Structure 1
Amino acid sequence: MSFFGPVSSVLYTIVPFVFVMTVVVFFHEMGHFLVGRWCGVKVDAFSIGFGPELFARVDRHGTRWRLAAIPLGGYVKFHGDINPASTGEATSAMSDAERATTFGAQPVWERAAVVAAGPLANFLLALVIMTGIFYVEGRSILLPRVASVVADSAAARAGFAAGDVVASIDGRPVASFVDMQKIVSASSGVPLAFEVERGGRPIALTATPDRRDVKGPVGTSSIGVLGVAASTDPADVRNERMSLGAAVSEAAGDTWFVIDRTASYVGGLVLGREKPDQLSGPIGVAGVAGQVARIGIGPLFNLIAILSVSIGLINLVPVPLLDGGHLLYFAFEALRGRPMSLGAQEFGFKVGLALVAMLMIFATYNDIAHITRG
């Protein structure tokens, strides 16, 4: 075997992973950066990655833009922060004018806006990418016609037959096979009322989608499966060009669908409905990025959109150290009229750091276990 074979395979995994993570992290941190600047906060550093510095330059505002060696995140360090996580400030030696440019000197609503801007930038990035894909490529619409029914599936038990065309589900019109998949996948174990056309006649059927685990960028989530195959007849497929407005609307729907599915998975982890041993870490995401990159640039950008939504949502989890933890502290401050004590905040951040570290270790262990199991 040539030495370059394994090297090429590794590069096909690492390069797409670094590209995907860099884009997602850059836009997340840019959200913090732009709103922070808008609120009058001085930014000392904007870093993509952690660890040893590979490249840096200082702009006219005094911000150090840096690219670091470990591409697993990034940070914006505001003036006066003790560390990049903004877990405290060193302002005692500052003048009043200098102290006014620190993050902690801003009103609580402005601090909350700066923190929330990161996840919101992730959602906006996903919306923009999906809009671009729909506007450039259009949309392939596959008629919701059943080509075949899997034996002993939810569809078979409900009485579906080859040739059925799904018209509506629970009263919601179904225009494409993808529309049907979206509704079914979000309804594992939930009875659904289908109206299908069979031989020109409307027929009512009730089916309860079966549960199936499907691997995604951040883990394996449970979805509902009906057990039907789509028609491959060219007459049942049409490509629809989309105006910019229609592309934005379609992208908004798809972005919300990803938000809903990711939130359902994260919520399921917290409530014990989802399996934690299916959570993916950096190695798993790298594997998915490598596989998708081999398909094409369009699917790779679609992965960026999905991962951007996932990272935005995970950052909103109210755990100290994450953006959601900061927002939780600000909510307490707004209600009490004064911030939590520095000791309480530091204790919370230590707990948050421990939780995040354990989650990363656990997710990485899952990735390695999946690889060794083949």
Structure 2
Amino acid sequence: MAFLGEFGGVIWNVLAFVVALSIIVTVHEYGHYIIGRLSGIKAEVFSVGFGPKLISRRDKHGTLWQVAALPLGGYVRFLGDANAASAGSEAVDPALVRQTLGGAPLWARFATVAAGPIFNFILSIAVFAGMAFWQGTPVEDVQIGRIHALPESQTNELKSGDVVLGIGDAPVATWADLGKAAEAVPAASVQQWHVRRDGAELTVAGPDPFPAVVGGIAPRSAAAAAGLEAGDVILSIDGTPVTRFVELRDKVGAAEGRPVLLQVWRPGAGVAEYTLAAREQDLPTATGFERRWLIGVTGGSFFDPATRPTGPGEALGTGVTRTWDIIGSSITGLWATVTGQISSCNIGGAISIAETTGQAASAGGANFIWWIAVLSTAIGFLNLLPVPVLDGGHLVFFTYEAIARRPASERVMSILNVIGLALVLSLMVFGLSNDLFCR
């Protein structure tokens, strides 16, 4: 039964990965296709998947749209391309040379190649903006929205709609003040909350501002492997009661990878125990990176903030900001890995991506869509790296052509493409080895 369960998990991960990859690659290739078509370049085939075609149809522009048997990506084959990778060229009627990728003006080639990664970023921005629009924006007052379930042992007289004015002796006027108040008051299972309710100010008993509530589970972490879930409340670690999430972090760090016993309360399921060992990970800081022992849980609150509708412009700004943050962290992480600031085990391969995708899908549709947006940004960024055979490599060749007013020689491009292909394959193998041996 354990084998069947593990096998079923693998199948789920693969299916989720295939769905996510198909969406991301289809958007990427559609970017190449539509900008190429608008630039006067003819696409002969647009394929979702590789290998033998399963279904197909030809549109009024002469492009064959097809779904192929191997759902591991997709491609656009332009007129004159020798293969699906657009590597090499075939002879075409001289009258049709302008409709080929190689025979198009430099601006058209540059725009067509750049469109793939750009469309990946557009997908990410659209998803993040849509989620911000759907979820709303916290109101300026520290107002309590939905209250999550807590163990019966934790007193909570707070109600949805309460506006928090203070905790203990610490005043609260903004969301930043809430964090400051949590640091100012001693950790305790019961705190005195000063709130405004229905126009009246009163003091009620409530939990610690940031109890040991699990807000999220990191993929491929000790917590994910043990079976912890978002919404769990950690009651104790190695028999010592835990009141505040920061206490959990400190005790896990002090164990330095030694297995710890967590007593956990789960809504609707009661109390259970989990044994897990933290893993060392590199975390970004304001000045660089630091290595810490982590079990892979993020802290949460026992309530959601009350929200107001998010305007379209505000949601779009959120989408752009989140996409740019992912690009920035990718650049920082890549540079830190290359320079040896952090472990090379931070580079994952297909297995880790598939596992993460499966866990995101298991966590719900919103998490899966969010992860697709993250992956889309990452794939767009990777494709812009100045490596031959990637889109970024082609853009470098085009830039050279614009400056030198002549294309690079076929011999030089062939050599660089071989080197680029070797680099990409080496990175794939390296990532796969990390998936197998870095735990």
TM-score by shorter chain over 0.5: yes
Structure 1 residues 264, 354: closer, same or farther in 2, change over 3 A? same
Aligned partner of 1:63 in structure 2 is 63
Moved over 6 A (4+): none
Counterpart-to-counterpart distance in 2, 1:148 and 1:243? 30
Counterpart-to-counterpart distance in 2, 1:274 and 1:50? 37
The partner residue of 1:223 within 273, 284, 304 is 284
Name which of structure 1's ranges 130-139 and 312-321 shifts more when overlaid on structure 2. Answer: 130-139
Shift of 1:52: 4.1
Structure 1 residues 103, 221: closer, same or farther in 2, change over 3 A? farther
Aligned partner of 1:322 in structure 2 is 390
Counterpart-to-counterpart distance in 2, 1:311 and 1:221? 22
Find the residue that maps to 2:77 and give its secondary structure. strand
Question: Is contact 2:133-2:310 (8 Å) kept?
Answer: yes
Counterpart-to-counterpart distance in 2, 1:35 and 1:67? 21
For 1:317, give the aligned amino acid. Answer: L
Structure 1 residues 306, 140: closer, same or farther in 2, change over 3 A? farther
Name which of structure 1's ranges 335-344 and 71-80 shifts more when overlaid on structure 2. Answer: 71-80
Aligned partner of 2:87 in structure 1 is 87
Unaligned runs of 5+ residues in structure 1 are: 150-159, 164-176, 178-211, 213-219
CA offsets 1:312-334 (integer angstroms, 9 cap, x no match):
00000000000000000001111
Aligned partner of 2:325 in structure 1 is 257
Aligned partner of 1:367 in structure 2 is 435
Structure 1 residues 277, 53: closer, same or farther in 2, change over 3 A? farther
Shift of 1:231: 8.0
Counterpart-to-counterpart distance in 2, 1:301 and 1:231? 21
The aligned runs of 1:159-174 (5 Å cut-off) are: 161-162=184-185
Aligned partner of 1:115 in structure 2 is 113
Aligned partner of 2:10 in structure 1 is 10
Aligned partner of 1:33 in structure 2 is 33
Find the residue that maps to 1:83 and give its secondary structure. coil
Counterpart-to-counterpart distance in 2, 1:246 and 1:340? 45
CA offsets 1:94-151 (integer angstroms, 9 cap, x no match):
32222221111111121011010001000100011111111112245782333899xx
Quick check: 1:146 aligned with 2:179? Answer: yes
Unaligned runs of 5+ residues in structure 2 are: 143-174, 187-209, 211-252, 254-280, 293-297
Question: Is contact 1:56-1:66 (8 Å) kept?
Answer: yes
Find the residue that maps to 2:376 and give its secondary structure. helix
Question: Is contact 1:48-1:75 (8 Å) kept?
Answer: yes
TM-score (norm 1): 0.73
The aligned runs of 1:286-325 (5 Å cut-off) are: 286-325=354-393
For 1:224, give the aligned amino acid. Answer: T
Aligned partner of 2:406 in structure 1 is 338
Aligned partner of 2:295 in structure 1 is none
Shift of 1:3: 7.4
The partner residue of 2:100 within 99, 102, 106 is 102
Name which of structure 1's ranges 292-301 and 53-62 shifts more when overlaid on structure 2. Answer: 53-62
Aligned partner of 2:278 in structure 1 is none
Quick check: 1:267 aligned with 2:335? Answer: yes
Find the residue that maps to 2:109 and give its secondary structure. helix
| Bigger radius of gyration among the two | 2
Question: Is contact 1:14-1:290 (8 Å) kept?
Answer: yes
Structure 1 residues 67, 366: closer, same or farther in 2, change over 3 A? farther
The aligned runs of 1:42-53 (5 Å cut-off) are: 42-53=42-53
Question: Is contact 1:146-1:230 (8 Å) kept?
Answer: no
How many pairs does the alignment contain?
A: 304
Counterpart-to-counterpart distance in 2, 1:124 and 1:133? 14
Percent identity, aligned pairs only, is: 37
For 1:107, give the aligned amino acid. Answer: P
Shift of 1:7: 4.6
